[in-house]
Amino acid sequence: MSNNNSLEIEYKFLIRFPDVKILEAQPEYKCCELTQMYLSLPDSLGEESTRCRIRRVKSKEGISYIKTFKRKVTEMTRVEIESEISAEEFESLSKYIRDGYSPVSKVRHSFKLQGFTYEVDIFPFWDDRAYLEIEVESEDINPPIPDFIHIIKDVTYDARYRNSALAQHIINEDIS
């Protein structure tokens, strides 16, 4: 089991529903189906002041399971500790799903442009919008937005648009 402990610094944008064919044509394109759950772990399994998420990732390479602990540093930066887990551990941990939280499913389309990784998340409950996440090395970097992505608004600092918030309440505000 490998551990990956790193800083995650990312911008998050609410975007108009993308043209998937254009996404598929981008450099180093990858696609996967994600199902993730937010957990409330007993003290023996958790880490203080962190949030825990488990995720099932289905891609053309197969199915993997990942456990992630996140701790906020700033609104844009988090310490992220990830480890691959077994299907059995995923199932066992899923019983600790937080009260009031539903599993979140999405299809992630990722590609690389100009040295940045772009991740477009499409959710089954929206047909007019999606998320764009762009990971950066530091908070002062402003990555370019590809011209085929139509930004509705920057939601990097809007807690309502975190995936964990969507697990509690789906936002359907007017975006016209």
pLDDT tens for each residue of 1-59: 345 568 999 999 999 999 999 999 999 999 999 999 999 987 766 555 568 999 999 99
pLDDT tens for each residue of 59-69: 999 999 999 99
CATH number at 32 reads 2.40.320.10
Q: What is the pLDDT of residue 1?
A: 39
**Phi and psi at residue 74, to the nearest 5°:** -135, 180
173 found inside a domain: no
176 found inside a domain: no
What distance, in Å, lies between the first and last C-alpha atoms of the chain? 46
Average pLDDT over residues 108-113: 97
Report the C-alpha gap between 83 and 75 in whole angstroms.
23
Q: What is the pLDDT of residue 2?
A: 45
172 found inside a domain: no
Number of domains in the chain: 1
174 found inside a domain: no
Per the structure, the complete domain to which residue 108 belongs is given by 3-166
103 found inside a domain: yes
pTM for the whole structure: 0.91
134 found inside a domain: yes
Report the C-alpha gap between 72 and 175 in whole angstroms.
28
